[in-house]
Amino acid sequence: MARETQTQLRARAKKVFERLSKAYPDAECSLEHGDPLELLVATILSAQCTDERVNKTTPALFKRFKTAKDFATAPQKELEKYIQSCGFYKNKATNIIGACKKIVDEHGGKVPGTLEELVELSGVGRKTANVLLGTVFGVPGVVVDTHCGRLARRLGFTKHEDPTKVEHDLMKVWPQEIWSLYSHLFVYHGRAVCFARGPKCSACPVRELCPFPDSREGNKIAK
Ligand code: SF4
Residue 189, φ and ψ in degrees, nearest 5: -70, -35
Summarised one tens digit per residue, pLDDT across range 110-158 is 999 999 999 999 999 999 999 999 999 999 999 999 999 999 999 999 9
Report the CATH fold assignment for 36-136: Endonuclease III; domain 1 (1.10.340)
For 49-110, give the DSSP string: S-HHHHHHHHHHHHHH--SHHHHHT--HHHHHHHHGGGSSHHHHHHHHHHHHHHHHHHHTTS
Q: What percent of the chain clears pLDDT 70, i.e. is strictly above it?
A: 95
| 36-136 has the same fold as 6-28+142-220 | no
Ligand 1 pocket member 154 (CB < 6 A):
yes
- Please say if 127 is a catalytic residue: yes
C-alpha of residue 188 to centroid of ligand 1, in Å: 13
Write down the pLDDT at residue 220: 58
Residue 174: partners with Cβ closer than 8 Å, 6 or more residues away: 13, 17, 142, 182
Every domain of the chain and the residues it spans: 6-28+142-220, 36-136
CATH class of 6-28+142-220: mainly alpha
173 lines ligand 1 (CB under 6 A): no
Query: Of 127, 169, 172, 200, which residue is the catalytic one?
Result: 127
